[in-house]
Homo-oligomer: A and B are copies of this chain.
Amino acid sequence: MNVHADPAASLKSALVETAALTEQTLDALLPAPHGLHARVQAAMRYAIFAGGKRLRPFLTVNSAAVFGAPLAQSLRVAAAIEALHTYSLVHDDLPCMDDDDLRRGQPTTHRRFDEATAVLAGDALLTLAFEILAHPDTHPSAEVRCQLIALLARAGGSEGMIGGQMMDIDAPAHTHGAEEIVLLQRMKTGALFEFCCEAGAVLGGGSDEDRARLRGYARDFGLAFQITDDLIDVTSSAEAAGKQVGKDEAQGKATLVSIHGVAGARREAEALAQSAADAAAFYGDKAELLRALPFYLIGRES
């Protein structure tokens, strides 16, 4: 594949290809529904195979590729991340959290099954993420596997994703200043993005500098991604976005867009995308897809 010919087209086809490979890997790793407990395994599969860009797997696979890690290994880590990410969506959609009936136009897991099954399916996906990482097929070195497990647990735990979600639903949203919003996003979504990229370096035996560089890439990328989400909420039509828009304003929720304005937020997203691209450019052609990704994503409308 010549990634220079038409960068956007190359990136798009690489995203589709990695998504398909990740889904194949997940299909092999998720238990087949069976027995008197089949319902929870059916719900796990329903939640996992509900679509999505599979952006986190893409980050992992392409970060790992920079360091020459085998695809079979990085796809297993990608599957673990997607299992953990999916559990967080299933639980966040619950009536006691965001109370969402639809996700990507389909009934959410608790609407398609029931709340108890959704709670259990989320719990089981979270548990499965660690089971996948602990298996020798993920990496021959148990030291590496333990590092990945410790990093994922930190990223997904009460000082990472869960803490960010708590902050989001607990603190009065309209009182958040720009610094708090950045902290919240860095915990709620940024920590897992950082894990995705750092995991690639860990798998491929990158140095501490490599790990820090990829975390920096992911941090800037993640915030640019989030600002773009907030811009879409303000500027896009529901039809173009494929989801309800204007939610933040209706909920009186402060975002970097409400604080800096549309033009200011867009400039910030562009600066962050540039900073992420610069970090990826350090690795030259091997990181061409990682370099192109931030610009591609801040240009999206949904």
Is A91 an interface residue when CB atoms closer than 8 A count as contact?
yes
Q: Which of chain B's residues have a CB closer than 8 A to the CB of A166?
A: 36-37, 39-40, 117, 120
Contact B131 A163 (CB under 8 A): no
Is A249 an interface residue when CB atoms closer than 8 A count as contact?
no
Contact B131 A116 (CB under 8 A): no
Which of the segments A3-11, A65-73, A150-158 contacts the partner chain?
A: A150-158
27 CB < 8 A contacts A-B: A35-B167, A36-B167, A36-B171, A36-B184, A37-B162, A37-B166, A37-B167, A40-B166, A87-B123, A94-B116, A96-B115, A96-B119, A117-B166, A119-B119, A120-B165, A120-B166, A122-B123, A123-B162, A127-B158, A127-B162, A131-B149, A134-B150, A135-B150, A142-B145, A145-B146, A146-B146, A149-B149
Contact B170 A36 (CB under 8 A): yes
Instruction: State in angstroms the CA–CA spacing of A165 and B128 once bound together.
Output: 16
Contact of A124 among B134, B135, B157 (CB under 8 A): B157
Is A1 an interface residue when CB atoms closer than 8 A count as contact?
no
Contact B150 A40 (CB under 8 A): no
Q: Which of chain B's residues have a CB closer than 8 A to the CB of A169?
A: 116
Q: Which of chain B's residues have a CB closer than 8 A to the CB of A239?
A: none
Give A192 Cβ to nearest chain B Cβ, in Å.
12
Given contacts A96-B114, A119-B119, A142-B143, contact A153 B170 (CB under 8 A): no
Given contacts A128-B153, A146-B146, A162-B127, contact A170 B37 (CB under 8 A): yes
Give A44 Cβ to nearest chain B Cβ, in Å.
7
- Interface size of A by Cβ–Cβ distance < 8 Å? 58
Please name 12 further chain A to chain B contacts, defined as beta carbons within 8 Å, in addition to the given A124-B162, A127-B157, A134-B147, sorted by A numbering. A35-B163, A35-B167, A91-B119, A91-B120, A91-B123, A120-B166, A126-B126, A127-B156, A130-B153, A131-B157, A135-B150, A136-B146
Instruction: State in angstroms the CA–CA spacing of A31 and B40 once bound together.
Output: 31
Is A26 an interface residue when CB atoms closer than 8 A count as contact?
no
Closest B residue to A188 by beta carbon equals: B37
Is A57 an interface residue when CB atoms closer than 8 A count as contact?
no
Is A187 an interface residue when CB atoms closer than 8 A count as contact?
yes
Given contacts A36-B167, A37-B158, A130-B149, contact A97 B116 (CB under 8 A): yes
Given contacts A37-B166, A120-B166, A166-B39, contact A127 B126 (CB under 8 A): yes
Closest B residue to A142 by beta carbon equals: B142
Q: Which of chain B's residues have a CB closer than 8 A to the CB of A163?
A: 35, 37, 40-41
Instruction: State in angstroms the CA–CA spacing of A97 and B122 once bound together.
Output: 14
Give A247 Cβ to nearest chain B Cβ, in Å.
18
Is A204 an interface residue when CB atoms closer than 8 A count as contact?
no
